[in-house]
Amino acid sequence: MINVLLLITVTLFFGKVAVKLGLSEVIGQLLASIVLGMSFLNVVHSTHLVHVLSEIGIW
């Protein structure tokens, strides 16, 4: 659960920074997921809750 809260918080922050830089908020959110995910820092691990939330986001 902490991983999900961390991911949401950092994603919102990266989104706001991207807007300040004149980019789309989605670009910042994607960068946050790359940085925290398995591609870079591996802070957020793929759990069942993360998988379910990502499936909801796809709809």
Task: State mean pLDDT over 7-32.
Answer: 93
pLDDT at 16: 96
The structure's pTM equals 0.70
Percentage with pLDDT > 90 across the chain = 34
Nearest C-alpha neighbor of 32 from the set 22, 21, 41? 41
More confident residue, 53 or 28: 28
* CB 48, CB 56: distance < 8 Å: no
pLDDT at 22: 97
* Residue type (1 letter), 1: M
pLDDT at 20: 97
